[in-house]
Amino acid sequence: MTGQLARVALPGTDIAHWTYPLPVRTPGAANVYTLHDLVPLRLPYTTADHKRHYLALCQRIAREADHILTVSEHSRADIIRILGVEEDRVTNLYQSTDIARLIESVSPEQIAQEVEGLLGVGMREYYLFFGALEPKKNLARLLEAHLMSGSRHPLVIVGAPGWGSERDVALLKQLAELDTEKRIKWLGYLPRQTLATAIAGARAVMFPSLYEGFGLPVLEAMSLGTPVITSATSSLPEVAGEAAVMIDPYDVRSIARAIKALDDDDSAVAELGQRGLVQAERFSAGAYRQRPGEFYARLTGTASPLPHDARAAQPVPITKAQSA
């Protein structure tokens, strides 16, 4: 690899937005790069990337980008601190989800029937983890915590094996042989609409990740009115706000206590579900669709100044924010 980004000619291009960290640049255009996070650098053992190559690529992008976009204030702070990018060249646009629309026409009764058919349990009678099985998802501690909690509700795992998941897969298979009470259920991959149903019916979504640039499963659960137990690390408190039970992902007892706290407290489950719906509105699809257009307009100097009241009304402003 050379010391500069490769030049790719795209005549007539005003903005070249590279939504993945690629080693390319378009001359004559404003070059924008999306860096979702710096997980390979913050937790090197959790990803398969060649760390030196990844760092070198990010450093080149940091030097040559006209602007860098990211998905949380936490990731923005990482990019500024680790890559040495000026604050005014990094903007957080956050993320969004439309998962709720997949079942918006499905009645609660139908969801309950589908949950019963899929899992053999009723609504709010199981905890759910979903996502790729990979080291940063912290599955082994979650499994240990669930068994430690003595919960009467099973833990359902939805996800296909990913890189570095051999230990987790072996553990799940071992538990399947030993767990005569079926307290752990591993379903593998589910189609997205079926997954939405499973999320909507869960007592809580478990997401004790070690590190996330955003943490989309947290938002997906909240947008479906399902409580969340998640980590008080990286971007996750930023996404969850006051609408989740926060845990230390490295402390099995902390995770177990959170499960136990919700196990028999239906009122807490209901309250967290309502808080989650409110919090999810901060990241609505409508607000998200506006933000890239507003950013492009500001980048090219074609944006109209927003009235003061309109700026204050933006749920997640894209203007420069203070780093944490």
Residues of the chain with CATH 3.40.50.2000: 6-95+285-313, 99-282
| Mean pLDDT, residues 72-98 | 97
> Parallel, antiparallel, or unpaired for β 245-247 and 204-207?
unpaired
This prediction has a pTM of: 0.89
| Mean pLDDT, residues 250-272 | 97
- pLDDT one-digit tens code per residue, 105-147: 999 999 999 999 999 999 999 999 999 999 999 999 999 999 9
| CATH architecture of the domain with residue range 99-282 | 3-Layer(aba) Sandwich (3.40)
How sure is the predictor about 308, in pLDDT bands with cuts at 50, 70 and 90? Answer: very low
Q: Which of 66, 79, 63 is nearest to 4 (CA)?
A: 63
Alpha-carbon distance 208 to 141, whole Å?
9
CATH top-level class for 6-95+285-313?
Answer: alpha beta
Q: Which residue has the tokens 């589908």?
A: 114
- pLDDT one-digit tens code per residue, 2-20: 568 899 999 989 999 999 9
